[in-house]
Amino acid sequence: MNPDLTRKSPEPAARMSRGLQWSLWLRSLSLQASWNHQRMQNLGLLWNVLPWLRRKKRHINRDRLFCRRYYGFFNTNPYLANFLIGGLIRLEEDLADRPAAESEFIGTFRDSVGRALASLGDQLFWLGLRPTLIMLICFSGLLGQVSSILIILGIFTVSQLVLRWLALQRGYELGMDIVDLLFDKRWHLWIARTKRAGMVLSGMVIGLYLAQVADTGVSPGRGMLWIGTGLGIGLPVILRKRLPGEAMIPAALILALLLTFAI
């Protein structure tokens, strides 16, 4: 069932009540707290949207069905999840007086938009912004700017909290039309830009490190940097799998022992 809920009419943008927005926003920060292997963020999502249901008069049968709608497998990107949460609240409101069968459509909407946001968010945050920010704080660390590391992360924290707040309202305004948002070409532009920034910053970290070890006279430093880089690129190729960073440390120790023997 796919009820006609698109809103392209010139009516003023819908606004979520401030109290509900605060409540949803605060809860959205812990969307992943109950992450589990079976259904991932399902419990977190249901917990997230409960403030909306709590504002209604108790109705056991409706509450039961509401819980059922949100208890299936669910996974999305936590930073972009609020677009979907806002949209879901809007759909719940729009479908509140419709037959129960129509409400099942919410599950389909949740799954498809959730998956699309997960994919965009993984590319933008985990593979784009995260390495970029990590390299930026490492660059600051190499310069000995300890407090600037905390400032950079503070700026990121405030920005992502603001994004989550705005996304909630935007998702609510758009409702079903969030789908249009997913096709916005700017997502891919930002993904490409953040990845490129990460690449340049990685090069900057290498450049600064090389200059520092050359200046401070840590004699084997330069050679070790290149050997380490070669090992980092080569190990996944040789082993045909990516090792977690923790496993790289003992691997590097074995290499260090071999180098000590060789020297």
17 vs 229 by CB, closer to other proteins? 229
Report, in Å, the least distance between residue 231 CB and other proteins: 6
Two tokens, residue 9: 């009419």
Tell which residue, 114, 120, 51, 119, has the closest CA to residue 84: 114
Shortest distance in whole angstroms from residue 211 CB to other proteins: 4
For 171, how many CA atoms within 13 A lie in the half-sphere containing its CB?
A: 27
Among candidate residues 81, 36, 200, the one with its CA nearest the CA of residue 131: 200
Nearest to 28 by CA among 84, 68, 93, 109: 84
Q: Closer CB to other proteins, residue 1 or residue 150? A: 150
Cβ at position 201, least distance to other proteins in Å: 6
| Nearer Cβ to other proteins (136/174) | 136
At 237, list the tokens.
Answer: 């190729």
CB of residue 98 to other proteins, shortest distance in Å:
19
Q: What is the DSSP letter of 56?
A: S
Give Cα 190 distance to the centre of its chain: 14
Instruction: Give the nearer residue to other proteins in terms of CB position, either 13 or 199.
Output: 199
